[in-house]
Structure 1
Amino acid sequence: MQIPKQISSPADPKEPSFLNLPAEIRNQIYELLFTREEPVLLHNAKAYHAIPPQRIPDSSWPVTVEAFDEAYENEICQGQIFVHDFQTVTPALLLCRQVYAEAAGYLYGNNTFMFSRPLYCHDSRGYDEEDAEYDDDSYFVTNYVAQWLQNLGSQLKFLKEVRIDAGALCPERCYRALGDVSILKLYNHFEEEDDMDRAGHLQRILIAISTQDVLDLKRYAFKGLLVDNIVLYSSLLYGGVTGPNLIRHFSALEQEAVKWVEFGSSRDYLGRLPTLLQSKILRLVTFSADQIVLDLDSRSIRGLNPIGFHLSRKLRDAVTFNSIPYDTSIVVRKSISTTTSDSKNFAVVASELVSPTGRNSGYSIFWGSFQEIFSSHPSIVIVLDFDIATATSLKEIRINIKEVVPILSHISSYSKAKAHFVLKCPWGNSIHHEEVTISVVELIQSLFLLLSDVRQQWPSEMAKAGGSQLPDIWLNGNGVLIFASYPASSHSSERRVEYAHGRLTPTEIRNRGYRMAMATYTTYNHGTSVGMLYKCWIQIRGLHYQDRDRNRV
């Protein structure tokens, strides 16, 4: 905005006026008001939304939010790195045009402006659409600095020093990482000093493009090819120059000169899109079915289109089990033909299907989040189909779940996962059919009671290294735990602990779990090698019994 320099006059000439003071005194006042020794923090306050603590359904939520708000206020309003108190003096610029014209030079010319962010909470967790409402693109420092410089208009000439905090950019691994970094508005503005690696690399790129003009961009001004954007991709290693009739790419590799690069005839048009948009497109293609079935009998996955996985490694990494839409159900299915079975085959086949070490795996990228999906996805069912040749019932079925206990121990108390047991067997002249569905969380909390009983009866097993000290853990076809046992050996007979909590309701089981968690907790020296029994017990304790309810039982 152009502000003409005009001499104002008071509404009442008889009243004392600031403008009647000598110019030298007014200038001293401007300097005192608008000059700061420390860098002045600039961030897009209108677009800023601090990511609050993860919501938990208990009474500690208000206390947690209050602590977060206090820390946020301290971070923004009482920090020693940046100056935040300009809001108390900037209204003076609105007195009249003459004051603005006289003071603007002191404000913009006597200060170092630092574009950063007061609070930074992003990390490398899987992308969560619920977080998308926070930090829209206009908040990112590279976008806001361009907007701010453009809005200065004629006052741009007063600027002496502007710094961009490259450390406030999301790292490339961050789930909110910005796909492109626009640098067109920074074309003529660069800082000579740098004290961060990313800042130094960005500095070299800006100098090469704007000062040295290694890409010879100025020639486009005479060819009618207007440049409307210059972007750096989030790695800061490649970028592009675009316009109405112009699309070119350049490389900015470290230790190499900035130069144009040409793509071959097979261009990655999808790869040019922002990472977030690529991920959304790939998810729509990959998870187009209403149900995904992991069939452990045929060792295959149905309802999932793998075509996107063959395009590039970057696109494969953009899609995991965490990307599955919540309205898509997930079924893990296994058939069993005997009345007594163990979970070893179940665990081995599941691992071969989705583990990176499985030679026949076409979906190895899923393994990193396979266990997480049991805690986060609202519609996942494990189906065990018992097709038995003799008459029986689910109550008489026996399943040893020892091999899947390590997986179960990583499932949180918020999981909505279910286990569905289906029995089909002959019964006289007809076919007997029986079905039972149980909550996986309730099974885990019952398992915690049984493991606690094992620990109390044989405490020495907790300190054994390796996985051999996990007992066999049996439940029937109704999903009810029966006992845990160690088989007989050459020097000892079979040891067994019956499950003694079968008459309790789910609420009573949970309350008893809190008491056992507090009564039997032991701190082990980090240098002590502990085995799978202790690891599974302590993992369940941490995921299911660390909330505020422990103080009420």
Structure 2
Amino acid sequence: MDSALRAACSSPADPDRLSFLDLSAEIRNIVYGLVYEHSNPLIVTRTKRSDEPVTLARRLCDENRETPMIRRRSDVKLAPNHLKQAETSHPVLPNNTVQVYQTGLSLFCTCYQSHREAASVFYANNTFLIIKKRIQWAASHGDRCECASYVLVEWLKRISTYTSLVKNMHLDLDSMCPLDCGELDKSFRRGSNAKSGDVDFTKFLTTFWSNNLQENCSVVCVKQPFNQNSDVFREPSQITKLVQSICEDSSGFKAYSLTLGRIIIKMNGSEGSVAYLTTNKHIIEPCLYVNSVMDDGYEPKYTHSPKYACEETARTFSLDGDGQIHFQADEAAAHLLNLPESLRRKVWNIVLSDAEGHPRIPLDTATDLRTTMAAFSSLRAHFGGTSKLERLIDSSIGYKPEYQTRNWRWGTDMSIGFLLEINIVAPAKLEDVRIAIMPLILATSLTWNDHQVTIRVTTPERMSAEDSSTLGSLRRRVLTALGAYSKKQSSQNSDSMCPELWVNGRGTVKEINRRDNVSGPSDPEALQLMNSHDARGSAAASSGTDP
């Protein structure tokens, strides 16, 4: 032992005897290798009794003779001929895994230095096979499934700080849960392109990333290459390449692990798909369920926490020739209306936002709804594009949120506003302008009352003034003016019930004119919209119903 270690270590009980630490590091490593290195993978699994923690096990046909079997009264005594039959007939037989312990544990307990050296050799130079607790039921999955991912989580908790020493790991493909397993979260509905036999690697990958593991992970078939329940051929080597590439985070999945919904890989390893969970609650309700208590004392493990699925985010990936993750191109071109409802609402709030999160839709003749400032020589303004606005409200923007949405708030989620912007060539005030308001009232007749209507006047000196009011208050002013106007008109005049109303910049009705007057609407689109609404009202009146 060198002087530095001698100063830090306690004095030996017998200074005259040669200590194991007095040997050179090369000799100590040879001793550690003879005791702790095994030719076959060490199985990490649960025992037959579910209340026991994850522990080491081995198969009877393995050559790990340095791992003696832990015998209990309930263990079946295997005769030598049974052992010989297990070695020659088939590598895996029902109930042929036995719980074992590691010999030479005295080196672990001698002192801190020998403990660290032995642990580094044991964890770094062995391969650990993660498998379900019942190897003979490896291909069976249900509500009582103890998949390999949960076994891995429990084992990493036990070895604690030694997780960074593990270099080689095998995953049993039969122990990974397929999509039809009862253990998986039912709140995430699988996509139409996913099959029930596809394997879910979500829990394993999130555990791998959260523990910063650096080992080589391989996927193996302990039992056989064909599934017992189907004729789907499995390709563990191809799945290993995909899993290893994802573990190395070549595609950037790790940064979104908190919102990762599901990563599945096909049985043949040809491709996989990834989908994400939403970060806020929306229309899809969570699915909460608890595993039922079994007759053998199997206790419920946990209750699923609410997760909100977003199937529209699913993307398919595969490996290219260079071994890198390659995402397949979407069949259809990306479209804003194809986004999920929650994402589409955020886009509207960002792109159309004007102030304090209240979107404004400028009314003009532009097809892309961008503001076009038109110069008016007079103080009277007609706005086109109202028919386009009516179609837009009915289809894409003016959707009605469902009441069961938990975070829906009155006046906030329905805060799509309307902006009437006028560019005047001469100085003017809001009280001086006159705006034909009936096309807007008719186009927005099916929307909510809490929408904001903003009238903005801009002068050549870049002086602007604006006033906002709710659509409900503007409607009440129009209805009051129409009621007073109808009393003064003859009931025989068919045009008297739908005149043209002019409001100022404050939204107050200042003028009411007959539609056949010379001051009537000069915009043919506004006139067509009024005529269409009049036609609806006439048809309703002839049938004896309310328009």
TM-score, scaled relative to structure 2: 0.32
TM-score, scaled relative to structure 1: 0.32
Larger helix share, 1 or 2: 1
Query: Which has the greater radius of gyration?
Result: 2
